[in-house]
Structure 1
Amino acid sequence: MALLDEARVRQMSNGGTRGPVVVTRGDVLTPSARSWLREHRVEVVFPQGEPEKTDGGRQEKGGAARYRTLFGAELHEKPEHMTHLKGNLLVFKDHPRIAFRGYIDLLEAEIVLCQQACVREGYRVLAVELEEVLGFVRRFIRFDVLDEPVGEVRLCGYSPAELREYSHYPEKHFGQPHFMLSYTDSPAVAAVNKVRAVVRQTELAAYQAFRDENGAVAREDIILGLNRLSSLFWIFMIKLKAGKYERT
């Protein structure tokens, strides 16, 4: 049996950067240790075959528990204020990774609304391109939950290098300089711009979800993928403004 205080769990997790803290039967976490683990989102795990404990170090009664938490408790019922992070692991609903997934949901919804606006204005080619983008965005939950790599971002015929190049130098490639959105722009341009803004918000949510206390991120590929997606939506806006999409 060991009493694990804040200093000890910091050491065990290398300041929150090395991974989960492994505790054994009889170990007790002090309140300050639990507070630090919660604040830095460090998982508490048990060696295979050992029972998990509640906050007081006691086993839950009533048979095998169905759920576990980041802080060592095991539960038979899922509280309404908690949700699944992965598998049977529960977290509070304001956990940064759950917030990030919420932004992915919002992004999907805004893309569909944008497609509808494009179809109303006759930009059916752009609506089809947005369908490809929507399929890519829907994979981000899988990237997170299953720890799958994003891989190289190739969308709508653009390579990663082209997404960066064309979005930075639109006048060179499309004859249209950078511009500020105006009420005189078409509803399609405004709709695409709103999606672009939501992409930027989603990128910030991803940084909040995957950074450590020193600012380093565990999933740079997710953040990079969203950054390139933001570039693509700026290209869409530039092409609309420059009249590169035919209306049907």
Structure 2
Amino acid sequence: MALLTEEDVRRMSDNGARGPVVVNRDQVLTPGAKDYLREHRVEVVYPQGRPEGAAKPGSGSAEAPSAPRYQTLFGAALTEKPEHMTHLKGNLLVFKDHPRIAFRGWIDALEAEITLAQQAAAGEGCPALAEELEEVLGFVRRYIRFDVLDEPVGSIRLCGYTPEQLREYSHYPEKHFGQPHFMIRYTDGPALLALNKLRTVVRQTELAAYAAFRDPDGNVTRSDMILGLNRLSSLMWIMMIKWKAGQYRRQS
């Protein structure tokens, strides 16, 4: 008996686009081949008669097509979710390197950096900064909902600042906080270094959002999400300025 593997049936059916797959009496389908045929609804033909134990199509055999449970952006209907794909929304599957999935990964990384910055702030006796970051964390966590459910970000007010204030204060910190722009140094302490790392991750997340929500002409479809992340980046710099200026009280 000759075994027909998934690679064999994939080639025989032109990756599911043409089919059917012809199985001779001296050939046996491997479990992987059967799974592929079922998922891609490829017809199986036995020109020399169906071998003993091979059920007719529709009888629940591995070759019989099952009702599709998932859809893809390229029009395929699948009965099982492949490991290299994930949910975009509902039963719609995309490849795991899809820009919107990559963007969600950056949101996850951003949440992790926020909690590390909170830990650093608490370690230096500054619960006020940790509490402000808790508000930031709540804002960031809503981003997955904004994406999956297509909800608008709505009005932005972070730690008491409007979007206009966030832009103004981050551009002119000496005017508003008495502290000019500065370059970060290793001697600045764990909390300030954590805020700086957090600021860079916000910027990377903003870039990922642009990649996820732009059309072929470069126009953005979710400018509200990108604006929110841009102003969050400004807030991170404001927090760094306030820390450097000594405006966060350290409490023992």
8 Å contact from structure 2 (residues 156, 163) kept in 1: yes
Residues 1:62 and 1:144: Cα distance change in structure 2 (over 3 Å): same
Question: Percentage identity across aligned positions?
Answer: 74
CA distance in 2, matches of 1:184, 1:169: 24
* Residue 184, structure 1, aligned to residue 181, structure 2: no
Residue aligning to 1:168: 171
Deviation at 1:186, TM superposition (A): 1.7
Residue aligning to 2:116: 113
Where structure 1 has 5 or more consecutive residues not aligned to the other structure, the ranges are 1-29, 31-52
Residue aligning to 1:123: 126
* Residue 104, structure 1, aligned to residue 100, structure 2: no
Residues 1:215 and 1:61: Cα distance change in structure 2 (over 3 Å): farther
TM (normalized to structure 2)? Answer: 0.75
CA distance in 2, matches of 1:100, 1:93: 11
Question: Secondary structure, in 3 states, of the residue corresponding to 2:93?
Answer: strand
CA distance in 1, matches of 2:199, 2:104: 17
TM (normalized to structure 1)? Answer: 0.76
* Residue 239, structure 1, aligned to residue 242, structure 2: yes
Q: Which amino acid letter does the alignment assign opposite residue 156 of structure 1?
A: C
* Residue 203, structure 1, aligned to residue 209, structure 2: no
Question: Secondary structure, in 3 states, of the residue corresponding to 2:188?
Answer: coil
Q: Which amino acid letter does the alignment assign opposite residue 236 of structure 1?
A: M
CA distance in 2, matches of 1:188, 1:72: 49
Question: Secondary structure, in 3 states, of the residue corresponding to 1:223?
Answer: helix
Deviation at 1:54, TM superposition (A): 6.0
Residue aligning to 1:144: 147
8 Å contact from structure 1 (residues 54, 72) kept in 2: no
Residue aligning to 1:217: 220
Q: Which amino acid letter does the alignment assign opposite residue 72 of structure 1?
A: G
Q: Deviations over 1:110-167 (max 9, x none)?
A: 0001100000001110000100100000000000000000112101111111111111
Residue aligning to 2:72: 69
Residue aligning to 2:25: none
Deviation at 1:62, TM superposition (A): 2.8
Aligned-residue Cα RMSD (Å) equals 2.2
Residues 1:208 and 1:55: Cα distance change in structure 2 (over 3 Å): farther
Residue aligning to 1:7: none
8 Å contact from structure 1 (residues 55, 73) kept in 2: no
8 Å contact from structure 2 (residues 71, 78) kept in 1: yes
CA distance in 1, matches of 2:241, 2:86: 40
8 Å contact from structure 1 (residues 193, 237) kept in 2: yes
Name which one, 1 or 2, has greater alpha-carbon Rg. 2
Residue aligning to 2:87: 84
CA distance in 2, matches of 1:183, 1:243: 17
Instruction: Tell me which moved more, 178-187 or 165-174.
Output: 178-187
Deviation at 1:55, TM superposition (A): 10
Question: Secondary structure, in 3 states, of the residue corresponding to 2:133?
Answer: helix
Q: Which amino acid letter does the alignment assign opposite residue 160 of structure 1?
A: P
* Residue 134, structure 1, aligned to residue 137, structure 2: yes
Residue correspondences, number: 197
Q: How is 1:49-68 mapped onto 2 (pairs within 5 angstroms)? A: 62-68=65-71
Q: Which amino acid letter does the alignment assign opposite residue 124 of structure 2?
A: E
